[in-house]
Amino acid sequence: MSQPAMNRRSLAATVHGLASPVRLVALALAATALAHAPALWGGFLYDDLRDIVANPAAQATTFLERLPHTVRPLLKASYALQDAVHGVNAAAFHAVNIGLHLGAVVLVFLLVRRGVELAGLEDRANRIAILATLLWSLHPALTDTVSYVSGRSSGLSGLLVLAALVAATGRKARPWLAFLCAALAPLARETALVAPLLLLVFQATVGRGQPGSLRRAAPVWAGALVAAAVLAAMASHRDLVSFSLTTRGPLDALRANVFALPEALRLWLMPWEISILPRQPVIHGWDDPPTLIRSAALAFVTAAAIALRKRWPVVALAVLWTLMAMLPTNSVIWRVDPLALRPLYLAGIGLALLAALALARLPLVLGLAVAAALGTMSWDRATLYQDEVALFADATVKSPNEARTHLMYGLTLANTGQVAEARRVLEQALRLDPFLSEATNALRLLDAAAPVYSDPP
């Protein structure tokens, strides 16, 4: 063999080695850890104080006592376990959140790669999988799950859902692991009951030719049914569902989510607009043109994805996965904030896969550049989570006409002793919404405490 031919073969072997799945996963883990590292220096934020620091159900000594009266028992168990090991140490809580996300990175790579292989695109499986994984794991929408300790419900349940799906769809099925993960995931966040439906989407698109589909799916369905029975037996979960249904009926909730779902997808495409309190959409009546247009668009996209599942199975998987992952939070169950970031933790995998499919046809450097840009934005947002005042100030800049963002910013300023500025911001919140009772009450408390709390001249 000639020397040039040997050199070409050596170069090809080197490139192939660099593109091996292990090396690609290591790259994704390193990039993800770097992008979210600033969260390690963050403290406990607003919801953390109520849900973790001052919550008896999250403390080691009272966890078992409070277990029958709490929600999301696996989530609370993770908090209580950390409390038993190291006490209320914010850095350790943040480290666990990042660790859960890194575990999910590995599973997303494996699941996407498996799906692309089953669709007959073995030659592009590694490239599409690494691009999708990076575009997902580095997206700033995920910082609300990773950088906020209270976001662990999405991170922990998402990890378990992905583990159940990987166990059910791998070259060798692992039924007991799939069952266990599917049963535990909803105990961290009840929206994880969607796991069997996500598996159904996978099997109906890229997995149509995979042997033993029913046998693979059965443990995931069984685990979800067991979890549903456990949640139904817990009075606290029944009360949550009852409160939601009595606050807004299913049709009213669905109408609100017709607007919230497209807005969530828009935020994914425009990550520079992401904030801890996304601007809530204006909701119209059922017979108003904005509602009809959005309803028709969602129905068309869903129908098109189903119709194209044989011709373009990976595209169908990406679209239907996104819609299905948003179903628990953006359908008939009312939420105080219809538009939120945490549902994008699982749904974002489908969106990242769509983007990866487009970028995979272009030079790899372009896809990596997009991932690097997203990672930079995630670094910036993770840094914001170190300072609660800066975090809510950012929200008021991005949503200047939202009364609630000013309310939260004002309360945060008051809690840090910046009374004059807190009063100014709370008054702005009342100008935006004169009926915002929380702002009125906060101003009364500030006025009562004026002799004690005053800004220096």
pLDDT over threshold 70, residue 28: yes
163: left (phi over 0), alpha (psi -120 to 50) or beta: alpha
Q: What is the mean pLDDT of the chain?
A: 91
pLDDT over threshold 50, residue 212: yes
Q: What is the pLDDT of residue 242?
A: 83
Best CA proximity match to 346, nearest among 370, 320, 326, 319: 326
In this prediction, residues 332-346 reach a mean pLDDT of 91
Q: What is the pLDDT of residue 421?
A: 93
Q: What is the pLDDT of residue 287?
A: 94
Q: Which amino acid is at 48?
A: D
pLDDT over threshold 80, residue 11: no
Q: Distance (Å, rounded) from C-alpha 408 to C-alpha 393?
A: 9
What values do phi and psi take at 360, rounded to 5?
A: -65, -20
pLDDT band with cut points at 50, 70 and 90 for residue 42: very high
Q: What is the pLDDT of residue 19?
A: 67
Q: Distance (Å, rounded) from C-alpha 62 to C-alpha 82?
A: 13
pLDDT over threshold 60, residue 66: yes
Q: What is the pLDDT of residue 184?
A: 98
Q: What is the pLDDT of residue 333?
A: 87
Q: Position of tokens 């999988």?
A: 129
The share of the chain scoring above pLDDT 70, in percent, equals 94
Of residues 150 and 240, more confidence is placed in 150
Of residues 177 and 12, more confidence is placed in 177
In this prediction, residues 202-219 reach a mean pLDDT of 90
Q: What is the pLDDT of residues 222-281, one digit of tens each?
A: 999 999 999 999 988 888 888 888 888 899 999 999 999 999 999 999 999 999 999 999
Q: What is the pLDDT of residue 450?
A: 52
Q: Distance (Å, rounded) from C-alpha 78 to C-alpha 84?
A: 10
| Rounded (to 5) percent helix, strand, coil in the chain | 75, 0, 25
The reply to whether the predicted model has a pTM over 0.95 is no
User: Hey, is 430 helix, strand or coil?
Assistant: helix
pLDDT band with cut points at 50, 70 and 90 for residue 336: confident
Per the CB < 8 A criterion, the answer to whether 426 and 410 are in contact is: yes
Q: Which amino acid is at 85?
A: V
Q: Position of tokens 């809690």?
A: 415
Q: What is the pLDDT of residues 281-293, one digit of tens each?
A: 999 999 999 999 9
Query: What is residue 216's DSSP assignment?
Result: H
